[in-house]
Chains A and B, each alone.
Chain A
């Protein structure tokens, strides 16, 4: 079975630009979460989507938005890029188990803002 796929792998943008990152979950998984990982730190939660509805939002500005499509793939959009948005963006595909979600991560998109 294919794992979580993310595109693009790397991206270089200029301050003020907009970026769209894409994620395809593992087949059968209905939930996708997005995390930002700054170098040397643990991942920080941005969004969770389940069955195309937003189920959780982290402490990120409104410049960050996301959506989930009928096929459960997802996009993360970031507007008005800042230098501080440079990070590894991780997508996690998950399924519900007990009361929580077991999350499997993709390889990430490395975003560099110059």
Chain B
């Protein structure tokens, strides 16, 4: 069963629009970690954020913000005032003790296309 679901395959926006990427996860563990990575066309995965299951505070970093809601098992990611450089595939990932802390379980990714 898919542990991390990113239902949006592709989102296309015009520059300066906001875009929200959904991530829904599944785990039986009470302690776990969630991550977001960006994969630009060059292919290298870029780490964006790590969040543990006990910290439900929303986080903002520049134009990026994250909304973590344990009640709905979601960890959504918003890019505000999108730019062409934001065009990439974005992955949500889960790390849990049941498997192995060092194993990241990735969703299928959401392709974001930002046009000028």
Contacts and interface: CB of A to CB of B under 8 A. Distances in A.
A56 B95 contact: no
B94 to A, nearest CB: 10
A49 B4 CA distance: 23
B89 to A, nearest CB: 9
A74 interface: no
Given A43-B106, A48-B103, A56-B99, A102 B43 contact: no
Nearest to A42: B106
A50 B44 contact: no
- Contact-size category for A: 20 to 34
Interface of A: 31, 33, 35, 41-45, 48, 50, 55-56, 58, 88, 90, 92, 94, 97-108, 110
B50 A102 contact: yes
A48 B100 CA distance: 9
Interface residues of B, number: 28
B97 A99 contact: yes
Given A41-B108, A42-B106, A100 B101 contact: yes
Given A41-B108, A45-B104, A107-B42, 10 more contacts: A33-B104, A35-B104, A43-B45, A48-B102, A94-B102, A100-B52, A102-B47, A103-B47, A105-B45, A108-B44
B41 to A, nearest CB: 12
Interface of B: 4, 31, 33, 35, 37, 42-47, 50, 52, 91, 93, 95, 97, 99-109
Contacts of B45: 43, 90, 92, 105
9 contacts: A48-B102, A56-B99, A100-B50, A100-B101, A101-B102, A106-B44, A107-B44, A108-B44, A110-B43
